[in-house]
A and B are shown apart, each in its own frame.
Chain A
């Protein structure tokens, strides 16, 4: 298996949204929402993007309050968080104005019950213009749609969808050391739509190809292996 980051259609849409966010025109809000079921690679895609482009990654916790979130943001921006909440906000603001960076807030669902926490993020965005990307589970769009002032700031919404046959073809072509026939791709699509499961099938295909000196692995080979 090749050790590269697979660009699925979800990833491609994520990259496009991020580049529009970075290069948006004056006056266009720069918040984004990335959502979808667990296991589709939202977090990994964000981390991969950060490793290439820089950015700040915040992992939210269930009990997180506005103060706690600001403390985390300030610490991630490289400062020692101060005690008063007004100072915390000012620290985050000054850091971002000085060095604008994209802030990713993972598992933003945890914040969706607390309007004040979400509004703090929106304030930080409005004042600094730094892009803020919320990452959430499925339905996060509906949960957040309740907060209209926040929702209006989302200039990009990326829905991570279950992987399709076309995605599996993209993943196989990018990662798998052996060629897969179209019926093999369809076969895998019937068995799996999560990235991790698909990769297990690709490992299997490589093993079958090696054991039988095959150039191309078909559905028949895969079907035989699973019995």
Chain B
């Protein structure tokens, strides 16, 4: 499992979680987890349901399936086979990078 797969697997089993919760369970670097969760949040997978010790508490609202959405320049969901989030000017490059998926 790569880092994103680990995070996705763990958060699908939890009701609510912070970045630290996921760091503890996966043993990954904090920055890695924080960036991925924030992208999932921007793409509408997670909702912020509160705050604890200055950290956002996330809740999964769009659990599309067992395959982890892949973040490179943008976010691609292999369950739904859709591009879920991208910066407008990056769209062309994103489509290209996931074309073979």
A and B found bound together: yes
Chain A residues with CB under 8 A of B13: 43, 46-47, 50, 57, 59, 106
Q: Is A211 an interface residue (CB 8 A)?
A: no
Q: Is the C-beta of B10 less than 8 angstroms from some C-beta in chain A? A: yes
CB of A147 within 8 A of chain B?
no
Bound-state CA distance A59–B15 (Å) is 11
* Interfacial chain B residues near A203, Cβ < 8 Å: 53
The 0/1 profile, CB within 8 Å of A marked 1, for residues 6-19 of chain B is: 10011011100000
Q: Does A76 interact with chain B (Cβ within 8 Å)?
A: yes
Tally B residues with Cβ within 8 Å of A. Answer: 18
* Residues from chain A with Cβ under 8 Å of B1 in the complex: 51, 54
* Contact of A75 (CB < 8 Å), options: B10, B20, B30, B66: B66
- A3 lies within 8 A of B24 (CB): yes
Beta-carbon contacts under 8 Å, A25-63 to B: 43-44, 46-48, 50-52, 54, 57, 59
Are B27 and A50 interface neighbours, CB within 8 A?
no
Q: How far is the CB of B51 from chain A (nearest CB, A)?
A: 15
Q: Are A47 and B30 in contact (CB under 8 A)?
A: no
B50 vs chain A, min Cβ distance (A): 15
Q: How many residues from A make CB contacts under 8 Å with B?
A: 20
A57: which B residues are within 8 A, CB to CB? 9, 12-13
Tell whether B26 is near chain A: CB-to-CB under 8 Å.
yes
Contact B24 A51 (CB under 8 A): no
Find out whether the CB atom of B25 lies under 8 angstroms from the CB atom of A47.
Answer: yes
Per the 8 Å Cβ criterion, residues 54-110 of A in contact with B are 54, 57, 59, 75-78, 106
| Interface secondary structure of A, over-half rule | helix
Cβ B27 vs Cβ A5 within 8 A: yes
Residues from chain B with Cβ under 8 Å of A51 in the complex: 1, 6, 9-10, 25-27
Q: Are B10 and A3 in contact (CB under 8 A)?
A: no
Interface residues in B7-46 (C-beta closer than 8 Å to A): 9-10, 12-14, 20, 23-27, 30
Docked Cα-Cα span, A106 to B14, in Å, equals: 11
Counting CB contacts under 8 A, is B67 at the interface? yes
Residues of B within 8 A of A3 (CB): 20, 23-24, 30
Cβ of B6: which chain A residues have Cβ within 8 Å of it?
A: 51
Interchain CB contact under 8 A, B65 and A47: no
A52 / chain B contacts, CB cutoff of 8 Å = 27
Instruction: For the complex formed, measure the closest distance between the CB of B36 and the CB atoms of chain A, giving whole angstroms.
Output: 14
Residues of B within 8 A of A77 (CB): 66
B24 touches A4 (CB 8 A): yes
Q: Among the listed B14, B20, B53, which residue makes an inter-chain contact with A47, where contact means beta carbons less than 8 Å apart?
A: B14
- Chain A residues close to B by CB (< 8 Å): 3-5, 43-44, 46-48, 50-52, 54, 57, 59, 75-78, 106, 203
Question: Can you give 8 A-B contacts (C-beta < 8 A)?
Answer: A3-B23, A3-B24, A4-B24, A5-B25, A5-B27, A51-B6, A52-B27, A75-B65
Interface residues of B (CB under 8 A from A): 1, 6, 9-10, 12-14, 20, 23-27, 30, 53, 65-67
